[in-house]
Structure formats: structure tokens, C-alpha cells
Amino acid sequence: MPRTAGPIRLAELARVLGLEVEGDPQLEIGGFASLEKAGPDELVFVRDRGHLAALAACPARAVVAPAGFALEGRSALRSARPAHDFSRLMQHFLPLPRPPAGIASGAHVDPTAEIHPTASIEAGARIGPGSRVGAGTVIAANATLAAVVVVGRDCWIHSGAVLRDRTQVGDRVVLQPGVVLGSDGFGLVADEQGRPVAMAHRGRVVVEDDVEIGANTTVDRATLDETRIRRGAKIDNLVQIAHNCDVGENALIVAQTGLSGGTIVGPGAIVMAQAGTTGHLRIGARAFVGARAGLHHDVADGERVFGSPAMEERTWHRAMAALKRLPELLRRVRRLEQRLDLRAGDASPSTGDSDRA
């Protein structure tokens, strides 16, 4: 469990969050932990009543919790967003180690690139011609910025990330290891002999401020214009976003989802794991697409869809309920068929002696 450099009084944690202490403000916290693994001097959090049973068995003496939760004598920081405030405390007291500012020996920086003096360029990183890196940004070891790439302030581009030519990244963007922005899309056309050949892709990728993109996710450059990830969007690991997609502000896209070319995801929409779309669809604002859904049509604002092919939530629930009853329904149909066969046999003409009379 993460331990702080030294004990911190609960009053100091409250000051960072702007909250009041309920209980002992002098109680010392030595680290942060889950309900299952916490020790007495570690801070935990509960976000809903479903976690109260685990809290009852936990020895931690301090907790971040919503108002109104009974906490069995523990000291508390009462919060409307316990998970968020717990995360804020960890970021404040357990910051990630940052490399020193400047260009490390072993980094490869083109003479025409512009690097802010407070940026950190680690050994093995490559910054191409005409590229710019903003203040406080970290370009980690073995990350690559190709030609004319722009990365804003306070970003973290982790090891192995590749930003292809003319990619533009805003401020406070996090790209986890292996992210690729700006690779050519899977756009194919037939040549004169009918063979598939790659269509030229000359557009770019634009990632706006406060976006986070998970490990080994790929965002393809547009064919002509741009593929855009808008402000505050969060994209999980192993997601494929094809050419000319537009992902809206604060949208969430979960692991192993695939968006085909030209898909538009509205602001605040949630697309769950392993969902997939055909091309040129629109997922509306605040819509919800369930895990493993297969989309072949637009989704309206606020609509919730599930299944493959995707259908409206209530219809999907009825279909799933009927599917559970299918084996019994098949047995009933077979019994009815057997009865009909027997009745048909009873009704057939007799070939006994009476027929010869």
C-alpha cells in the first residue's frame, strides 16, 4: 500500500481538500489503502453503502465517506465525491517522480525543434523537425514525435508512444505507453485490376486539453481533414479509433472498443468494453453503449443500447429474458408436436375388417 514520506495529520488532509474533519483532527495518517488491505494508520474511502460491510471489518481509523454514513467511531472527511477526493490526496502527497527539466543525454532532438526549458526530454526520446514541446511536459524514454508535432503544457507522453507527422496535442494530456497517434487509417480502394490498395491519408490527429489515452490505443489520422479527440475525453487501453472520428468532450471509451471511420461520439457519451461500430454513425450526447454492443445505426442523445445487433435497453432486457426461457419453450413445442402426431395417427382411416364389410 502506498506510504507517505512521514505521518500526516488528518487536519492537513482536510485542508488540502477544503473539507471539515469529523472526529480527531490530530490523527496521523501514514498512507493510503483499500478497505481489504488497510492498516490502522492508513486512510480508506467508501463511495456507497455497498462498501459499509467491508468497512466494518477494516481496521483503518480514518475514512473519506459521504455524509450520513455510520462509521463506527472512525474519524472522517465527509465528501460528496469520496473516490475523487481520495485520488486528489494521493496525487498531492504521493506525486509521481518527474525527470529533471531539460534534454537528457541520449535524447535525439532535431535542431529545428522547440523545447520549453521546463520540459523534460528523457534519454532515447526522439523529437522531429519543426516539433514543439510546451512547458512542464515530459517526453519519456523511447517516445517519438515525428515532424511538425505540437505538444502543449504539462503533458506526459509515456515510453513507446508515437506521434506521427502534424499531430497536435493540447495541455495536460496523458498518453500511456504504446499510444500511437496519426498512423494511416484502414482506408482501401480498388485499383484498375480490382485489388485493394491503401488510400492516401494526408489529414491529422488533434487531441484537445485534459484528454487521457490508455496504453496501446491507436488513433488514426484523417483521410483529408482531422480525427479529433475533444476536451476531457478519457480513452482506455487497447482502443481503436479510425480515421475521421470525432470523440466528444468528456466522453468515455472503454477497453477493446473499435470505432470505424467517421464515427461521431457525442459529449458525455459512454461506450463500454468491446463495443464496435460500422462507419459514419453518430452516438448521441450522454448516450450509453453497453459492453460488446454491435452498432449498425445511430444512437440518439441519452439513449441506452445493448447487444449485437444493438437494441434499446428495454427491448434488450426482454430479449434476454426470453432467451433464458428458450430451452423450456423448445421442450413445450416438442411435446405439442408429439401430441399432434399422436392425434393425427388416431384420425387416420382404419384398415380393419369393418372396412371390408
Who wins on pLDDT, 205 or 2? 205
Q: What are φ and ψ of residue 307, in 5° steps?
A: 90, 175
Cis peptide before 309 (omega within 30 of 0): yes
Judge contact between 159 and 143, C-beta under 8 A.
yes
Active site residues: 243
Q: Percentage of the chain with pLDDT > 90?
A: 83
Question: Rounded distance, CA 60 to CA 36, Å?
Answer: 10
pLDDT > 90? residue 23: yes
112-149: pLDDT as tens digits: 999 999 999 999 999 999 999 999 999 999 999 999 99
Q: pTM for the complete prediction?
A: 0.88
Question: Residue 73 pLDDT more than 90?
Answer: no
Residue-range domains of the chain with CATH: 3-93 (3.40.1390.10), 108-312 (2.160.10.10)
Please choose, from the candidates 17, 72, 63, the residue with its C-alpha nearest in 3D space to the C-alpha of residue 44.
63
Contact present, 253 and 271 (Cβ < 8 Å)? yes
Q: What pLDDT shows up at residue 263? A: 98
Compute the distance between CA of residue 239 and CA of residue 249 in angstroms, rounded to an integer: 17
Lookup: cell for 312? 434499446
Q: With 50 as the cut, is the pLDDT of residue 357 above it?
A: no
The answer, yes or no, to whether residue 352 has pLDDT greater than 60, is: no
pLDDT, mean of residues 47-75: 93
Residue 299 has pLDDT above 50, yes or no: yes
Confidence band, pLDDT 50/70/90 cuts, at residue 356 = very low
Arithmetic mean of pLDDT over the chain: 94
Q: How far is CA 97 from each of CA 84, 154, 262, rounded to the nearest angstrom?
A: 21, 14, 39
